[in-house]
Amino acid sequence: MTAVTRSPGPTTSVDVAEAVRAVRASSRRRQLLDAAVTVMGRTGFHQMSMQALADEAQVSVGLFYKYFGSKEDILLAAIVDILEAFRDQLQPAMDLAGDDPVLQLMAGFRRYASIVDENRDAVVLTYRESRTLDAAGRDRIKELEVETSAPMRSVITAGMADGLMNEVDADLVVFDLMMLAHGWALKHWHFAPGYELDSYVAAQLRFALPTLLVPDKLDEYLTQI
Amino acid sequence: MTAVTRSPGPTTSVDVAEAVRAVRASSRRRQLLDAAVTVMGRTGFHQMSMQALADEAQVSVGLFYKYFGSKEDILLAAIVDILEAFRDQLQPAMDLAGDDPVLQLMAGFRRYASIVDENRDAVVLTYRESRTLDAAGRDRIKELEVETSAPMRSVITAGMADGLMNEVDADLVVFDLMMLAHGWALKHWHFAPGYELDSYVAAQLRFALPTLLVPDKLDEYLTQI
Amino acid sequence: MTAVTRSPGPTTSVDVAEAVRAVRASSRRRQLLDAAVTVMGRTGFHQMSMQALADEAQVSVGLFYKYFGSKEDILLAAIVDILEAFRDQLQPAMDLAGDDPVLQLMAGFRRYASIVDENRDAVVLTYRESRTLDAAGRDRIKELEVETSAPMRSVITAGMADGLMNEVDADLVVFDLMMLAHGWALKHWHFAPGYELDSYVAAQLRFALPTLLVPDKLDEYLTQI
Amino acid sequence: MTAVTRSPGPTTSVDVAEAVRAVRASSRRRQLLDAAVTVMGRTGFHQMSMQALADEAQVSVGLFYKYFGSKEDILLAAIVDILEAFRDQLQPAMDLAGDDPVLQLMAGFRRYASIVDENRDAVVLTYRESRTLDAAGRDRIKELEVETSAPMRSVITAGMADGLMNEVDADLVVFDLMMLAHGWALKHWHFAPGYELDSYVAAQLRFALPTLLVPDKLDEYLTQI
DNA sequence: CATGAATGAGAGTTCATTCAT
DNA sequence: TATGAATGAACTCTCATTCAT
């Protein structure tokens, strides 16, 4: 399962051999990281032995130590990976929604939730294991989370400036939206029987939009959910 | 720190000596559990060694094994402890708020959030370590969480029946409210600089009430937050 | 094999229970250290696995880590142990030889060599493994070696002052004597077939004394070897 | 650092290309061996990883396995290398000293010490790591050491036969001289601050010659040191 | 009721060695 | 000839658990 959708990056291959090696190395890294997320999702970080991890990835234990400095490094890499996906994919998805701040916000939330859905294990991981990391790792995570929240926050600020949205605490609203999206992973045991991702997103938008929109605008958007 | 406010329980003290012993035993248990929550809050369950735990509680390692069957038992006890506090204290707090379902809901959320505040370590623990438990333990947790949600769910159902509240997905709303309350513990690093518990509760109520109330009722309640 | 002869130390047992525990602990430490020297003598420090060590000492691996911080600590303790034996037992042995500096020196060398003989493994260890230690450990060793050399150096200085001995480089002579004594352990494979400890000591004294004594005094002492 | 001065060996170059290859191979071998001695001198055999060794030699790990069968083989080769230098260079150096057995012995000791000086790391290695080798390797070392001692032993025997030297245990004296020369490497931390190689050699000759020479001959040679 | 010395299985990590390129 | 990615056995060290006192 290679859930994290990553941007390919420009390959200005000066040296072919080196490029090939780099690609192979990078795909190796992905393979290892994916295996790690899978196993951690199944058993948790601490219960995961390096041997079990190696078995899952179908490589030797030692190989992990060529790509990561330590077991904890693997955890950090896995968490940073998913958080970067959030950060990098939110703005583009919102841009596609046109100029309307409300529609942009809705698109942002929808994309956010779908990334959560594609990486449920990894999202749970960010909650479960961030305290496992050292201070530097934790700071990196918090930083990424704040960066991720930026596009949705600015669109709310813009909406308020335009008079489209009520005066709210934009920062709080954004973190609430992110938490509700995380809920799809965190409380999946509870929601999965009754919801699909789409219906969950729709329900949460119906929950959250009323605080943002004046009554007469609300209906207009609710029908578009 | 004995954060969990627990109901005293009926003391049918037939034999004084036995009662004293029971109390001491129970206070011992509390002492040990409090120490466990403290250490786990600091380092996490897996990083906590039984020796460190014994040092924190100022007793020997062996003593823990008189009160708990295993290290994992301690974790389960600590988590169940906090979840029982939620379950047992929500209804009473809501009863004190009178008959108005909206005011009851607000009181319930407020009480929920204040328990979260008093047991931030333990709440984070429920997110971090529930996967550590075996299936039976996890089921117990889920069960308690569902039980806890009952009072708030019924009051919303009642509010909708009375026409006081909009038609919403009551279950989803309750879980959302609980998640937002948990947010005070989970994202404390983000919210603590800008919020006190009271202002956090007020802000979240302003966020959540619009979805529940018809516009003309909304203002009336918002002023009471 | 408990080769290192150690001074018992005063036991002002205020608290009997504690004293008993202390004694037991100290004898444990000796037991573990003796096992370590034995195994290291057999296989060398790096080839010695902690499991093999535990097997030799007939205890569990974990127990070693209650008494020593790390494998390297065991090595340092073993080396320091033997070097302290040299340092502590040389002066007393020399004092027993009376006032004559030459006789004192001979007694010192004889005692030094007999400690070497009783701790051949440990002596070889000091040569083989001192580079294994960290800088602090190596410094401790050098310090002890210099301290050990003090009694023999002063007796030579005294002998020269009295006119009993020729003018020599006292420090060099002492280090030479120590190296020749070490030779009994280091080159045991070569000397053992032809020498007993006593004859080795005698031969080395015959080798070393001529440089120290004027010809007419020499014969007098050589007959006493 | 190519400290070991090695005899070129007979180059019966039938085929030039092959000779070139052989030379290159042999210089490769030297390069690898020198790197090994350097790293081992710095860190010890066991602490030296093949990767560190390859880095030092600026080649790949795999290449070492073209020239040596195993890591232990490298150690053996390094030790044998230095011991062969001793064995091969002692007799020629002594021959240059003329016919006088005493002067020959002095020249032998001086050469021996200077080889020690040029290969301090390697000499320490022979003490530190010989136990690391298997029985066959250890036997090879002992054999070489005995072979090395031969020229000095025969010159002493000759000296005694000529009546130039006192009756001594020739074998013991030679081993003592070698140990004292080794001391320049083994106790370099102690002697280096006060001695140069030359003054160390001189001091040790003043220490050792009195046992060999009758008093009236002694002065004559001491002035030539 | 309370202790803490002792256990030993299992963890993360390293590294000599191989082999396809 | 030379590389270095990959292996996996073996290592040191930790720590939950027990039990004699």
Nearest CA in chain D to C41: D131
pLDDT at C21: 59
Compute the distance between CA of residue B58 and CA of residue B70 in angstroms, rounded to an integer.
18
Query: Which nucleotide's C1' atom has the smallest distance to the CA of B21?
Result: E1
pLDDT at C132 over 80: yes
Cβ contact D168–C128 (<8 Å): no
* Percentage of residues in chain A having pLDDT higher than 90: 76
Distance CA B225, CA B207 (A): 12
Residues 6+ apart with CB under 8 A from B78: B33, B36, B37, B40, B122, B125
Mutate to test the interface with B, among A45, A139, A176, A195 (most CBs of B within 10 A): A176
Alpha-carbon distance C154 to C101, whole Å? 9
What pLDDT was estimated at residue D130?
A: 87
Residues A190, B175: C-beta atoms closer than 8 Å: yes
Question: Rounded to whole angstroms, how far apart are CA atoms A172 and B208?
Answer: 12
Bridge partners (DSSP) listed for residue A213: A165
Which subunits have 3 or more CB–CB pairs within 8 Å of chain C? D
Does D6 have pLDDT greater than 90?
A: no
Residue D26's pLDDT band (cuts 50, 70, 90)? confident
In a mutagenesis test of the B interface, which of A71, A123, A128 is the best target, namely the one with the most B β-carbons within 10 Å? A128
Contacts of C73 (CB under 8 A, 6+ apart): none
* Residue D18 confidence (pLDDT): 55
Nucleotides of F under 7 A from a protein CB: 1-20
The residue lying closest to nucleotide E18, measuring its CA against C1', is D62
Chain D contact for C172, CB < 8 A?
yes
Flag whether residue D30 sits within 8 Å of chain C, measured between CB atoms. Answer: no
The predicted structure's pLDDT at residue B174: 97
Do C128 and D131 lie within an 8 Å CB cutoff? yes
pLDDT at position A20 over 70: no
Tens of pLDDT along C141-154?
999 999 999 999 99
Nearest to D173 among C190, C191, C207 (CB): C207
Average pLDDT over residues A179-192: 96
- Look-up of token digits 């530097």: A136
* SS3 call for B213: strand
Whether residue B128 and residue A128 make contact (CB cut-off 8 A), yes or no, is yes
Structural domains in chain A plus CATH codes: 14-69 (1.10.10.60), 71-222 (1.10.357.10)
Per-residue confidence at D10, pLDDT binned at 50, 70, 90?
A: very low
Beta carbons of A179 and B175 less than 8 Å apart: no
Spell out which residues of chain C touch residue D142, defining contact as CB-CB under 8 Å. 189-190
Which chains are within 8 Å of A by 3+ CB pairs?
A: B
* Cα(B79)–Cα(B88) distance, integer angstroms: 14
DSSP chain D: ---S---------SSHHHHHHHHHHHHHHHHHHHHHHHHHHHH-TTT--HHHHHHHHTS-HHHHHHH-SSHHHHHHHHHHHHHHHHHHHHHHHHHTT-S-HHHHHHHHHHHHHHHHHHTHHHHHHHHHHGGGS-HHHHHHHHHHHHHHHHHHHHHHHHHHHTTSB----HHHHHHHHHHHHHHHHHTHHHHTTT--HHHHHHHHHHHHHHHHB-HHHHHHHHTT-
Residue D217: its pLDDT value, please? 87
Smallest Cβ distance to B211: which of A47, A187, A207? A207
- Using the Cβ of D46 and the Cβ atoms of chain C, whether some distance falls under 8 Å is answered with yes
CA distance D14 to D12: 6
- pLDDT exceeds cutoff 80 at A124: yes
Query: Which of the 8 DSSP states describes residue B130?
Result: G
Is C24 within 8 Å of C38 (Cβ atoms)? no
Say if the Cβ atoms of D211 and C207 lie within 8 Å.
yes
Please say if the pLDDT value at position D175 is more than 80: yes
Q: Which of C72, C169, C196, C219 to mutate to probe the D interface, most D CBs <10 Å?
A: C169
* Nucleotide E2 C1' to residue B73 CA (A): 20
Mean per-residue pLDDT over chain C, rounded: 89
Q: Which residues in chain B show pLDDT less than 70? A: 1-25
> With helix as H, strand as E and coil as C, how does chain C read?
CCCCCCCCCCCCCCCHHHHHHHHHHHHHHHHHHHHHHHHHHHHCCCCCCHHHHHHHHCCCHHHHHHHCCCHHHHHHHHHHHHHHHHHHHHHHHHHCCCCCHHHHHHHHHHHHHHHHHHCHHHHHHHHHHHHHCCHHHHHHHHHHHHHHHHHHHHHHHHHHHHCCECCCCHHHHHHHHHHHHHHHHHCHHHHCCCCCHHHHHHHHHHHHHHHHECHHHHHHHHCCC
pLDDT at C17 over 90: no
- The HSE-up count of residue A111 (CA atoms within 13 Å, CB side) is 25
Q: How far is CA B80 from its chain centroid?
A: 9
Amino acid present at A222? L
How much is the pLDDT for A204? 97
Among the ranges given (A194-208, C14-28, D11-25, D79-93), the one the predictor scored with the smallest mean pLDDT: D11-25
Q: Is C48 (CB) below 7 Å from strand F?
A: yes
Cβ contacts from A onto B, under 8 A: 89
User: For position A13, what pLDDT does the model report?
Assistant: 39
Over the stretch D84-114, which tens digit does the pLDDT of each residue have?
989 999 999 999 999 999 999 999 999 999 9
Q: Which residue's C-alpha is at the least distance from the C1' of F19?
A: B62
Q: Is C203 on the interface with D (CB under 8 A)?
A: yes
| A169 neighbourhood in chain B, CB within 8 Å | 203, 207
In this predicted structure, what is the pLDDT of residue B214? 84
Q: What is the pLDDT of residue C18?
A: 59
Decide: B97 and B104 in contact? Cβ < 8 Å: yes
**Cβ separation C128–D124 shorter than 8 A:** no
Position D16 confidence tier, pLDDT thresholds 50, 70, 90: low
Q: Which residues from chain C sit within 8 angstroms of residue D209, using beta carbons? A: 211
pLDDT for residue A21: 59
C10 has pLDDT over 80: no
What are the pLDDT digits (tens) for D33-43?
999 999 998 88
Contact status of B129 with chain A (Cβ, < 8 Å)? yes
Give the chain D residue whose CA is nearest to the CA of C46. D46
- In this structure, chain A runs to a length of 225
Q: Could you give the CA distance from residue A179 to residue B208 in angstroms, rounded to a whole number?
A: 14
Residue whose CA is minimally distant from F21 C1': C17
- Distance, angstroms, CA A51 to C1' F11? 15
How far C207 CA sits from the closest chain D CA (Å)? 6
For the CA of A59 and the C1' of F1, the distance in angstroms is 29
Interface check B5 vs A, CB under 8 A = no
The nucleotides of chain E lying under 7 Å from a protein CB are 1-20
| Residue contact D172–C204, C-beta within 8 A | yes
What pLDDT shows up at residue C11? 42
Average pLDDT over residues D141-152: 94
**Dist CA A30 CA A1 (whole Å):** 10
Percent of all residues in chain C with a pLDDT value above 90, rounded to a whole number? 76
The answer to whether residue C188 neighbours chain D at the CB level (below 8 Å) is no
Cα(B30)–Cα(B78) distance, integer angstroms? 10
Contact call for A132 and B206, based on CB within 8 A: no
The interaxial angle of helices C71-95 and C120-129, nearest 10 deg, is: 120
Distance from the D71 Cα atom to the nearest Cα atom in chain C, whole angstroms: 14
CB-CB under 8 Å, D179 with C186: yes
Tell me, what's the pLDDT at D167?
93
Asked whether the predicted pLDDT for residue A163 surpasses 50, the reply is: yes
Task: Please give the pLDDT value at position A16.
Answer: 59
Residues 66-85 of C with CB under 7 A from strand F: 70-72
With an 8 Å Cβ cutoff, is A169 touching chain B? yes
Residue A138's nearest CA partner among A80, A69, A90, A182 is A80
**CA–C1' span, C193 to E15, in Å?**
40
Q: Which residue of B has its CA nearest to A146?
A: B190
Q: Rounded CA gap, D78 and D33, in Å?
A: 6
Contacts of A208 in chain B (CB under 8 A): 207, 211
pLDDT given at position B215: 82
Whether residues A211 and B215 touch (CB distance < 8 A) is answered with no
Chain B residue numbers touching A47 (CB-CB < 8 A): 132
CB-based contact (8 Å) between B146 and chain A? Answer: yes
Spatial distance from the CA of C36 to the C1' of E4 (Å): 25
pLDDT at C14: 43
Please name the residue whose C-alpha is nearest to the C1' of nucleotide F15.
B49
